[in-house]
Amino acid sequence: MIFELLDQYEGISRRAFFGCATKLNKTFKTNIIEILILIMCIPRKINFLQLGRYGRRGEQRYRQTFRRDFDWLCFNMNLAADRFQYGMKRLAIAIDPSYVSKAGKKTAHIGRFWSGCASAVKHGLEILGIAVIDADIKDAMMLRAVQTLNSTELEGKKITLNQWYLSVLKTYRTDLLKITSLLVADAAFSVLPFVDGLKEIGFSLISRLRSNAVLYYIYEGPRTGKRGRPKTKDGKIDFSNPDKNRMTRLDIAPEEGEAFELVAWCKSLKQKIRLVIHYLPGGGHRLYFSTDTSVCGKDVYDIYRTRFQIEFCFRDGHQFTGLLDCQARDEKALDFAYNASLAAVNITKVLRKQTKMPFSIGQIKSLMVNAHFIKRFFDLSGIDPNKTLNAKLVKELFGLTVDAA
């Protein structure tokens, strides 16, 4: 029966609480599960007013729940362990800031932040998404979302934006290092202060360099025995005419171009890196790297390209789970709303894997929205949906829903 979809979603949510160190009040746990279910069952904007309409509690009760602390990292790590249990070899922690539209002047940490979609600085909020990605199955699951301080608050603390990001990672490093010590981020993070800060807290960075970055071959010849510093660099790398005898070709699909790996010296990062030079089919090249030279080039190539899956977590949150809809101005309530929205996306991914449903997250949401409506109708009317005549009608209704989605 299609109603089992709601029960399976609830079961996945309950199992994700197992192993969390913090003991939760039974009522609080029940409220969280109900909120996660309602996020997937409310068809339009997901805010306190809608929760009060569709839920079993009053609007004020949901507002109170949103202001309470909850260990979302532990909850999402349990979900990710279920989702990635068949691909635990090539994991990495991915980080990515995301702009969140928000009006007003009194909201916590409101300011001006960079919006990648608009390619401009806009008024609103920003959240730093911390996710785990699996390069084998090409997927990502969000672990934690943290609000970014605005420029005035950063100036008051006398820290830069990168230092703030590092402080967030330092807060959660104990749990994150249990997964992996590899962290992948976009080219904006491939700067020396951030790389050194990551090294101090136990992470290695996989990222991308500018196409005109200054890189040198590593000198591997004999030592002269003379006084002075030993020779470490052996000529600048010319990307238009590289010395392929010093490189190893990577096995990638022909339509993706060519890729070569080597250990090189990076001038801007002042250290040896595992470098991957990717020559595109249409011309030009891209430079991927890892500060951990023991990581093979194919892993660097695949992990960086899988990093973009974190964008789909934000996209699904925007489109289906109300990431932009929270009415609150309080910092705790906003934090709860953002993490609940992204956790609902995670649960749906686990549900899709367990049920082997060939549907998108949008189609699954459509099924759950109508399952919730029809279940409520049957509950109030006293009609048994499991009878043969009624079951056929219910299946037809759900079939029309999926086609429409």
Provide the residue ranges of all domains of the chain, joining segments of one domain with +. 1-185+307-358, 209-295
Share of the chain above pLDDT 90, in %: 66
pLDDT digits (tens, 9 = 90+) for 385-395: 555 656 666 66
pLDDT, position 172 = 96
- Tens digits of per-residue pLDDT, 126-167? 999 999 999 998 999 999 999 999 999 999 999 999 999 999
| pLDDT tens per residue across span 160-218 | 999 999 999 999 999 999 999 999 999 999 999 999 999 999 999 999 999 999 999 99
Q: What is the mean pLDDT of residues 252-275?
A: 94
Q: Which two tokens stand for residue 389?
A: 């005549």
> Model pTM?
0.89
Residues 6 or more apart whose CB falls under 8 angstroms from that of 34 comprise 55, 56, 57
Share of the chain above pLDDT 70, in %: 91
Give the alpha-carbon dihedral of 43, 45, 50, 51, to 10 degrees. 80
Q: For residues 82 and 303, which has the higher predicted lDDT (pLDDT)? A: 303
Confidence of residue 403 (pLDDT cuts 50, 70, 90): very low
Q: How far apart are CA 68 and CA 373, in angstroms?
A: 29
pLDDT for the residue numbered 354: 86
Q: Region 307-324: what's the mean pLDDT?
A: 94
Q: Which segments within 154-270 are labelled E, that is strand?
A: 182-184, 204-209, 215-218, 233-236, 248-249, 258-266
Task: Decide if 354 contacts 16 (C-beta within 8 A).
Answer: no
- In this predicted structure, what is the pLDDT of residue 405? 46
- Provide mean pLDDT across the span 92-99: 96
Residues recorded for the chain: 405
Least confident of 107-121, 136-150, 350-364: 350-364
Residue 68 confidence (pLDDT) above 60: yes
Closest CA to 371 of 8, 11, 33, 53: 8
Closest C-alpha to 368, from 347, 387, 393, 337: 347
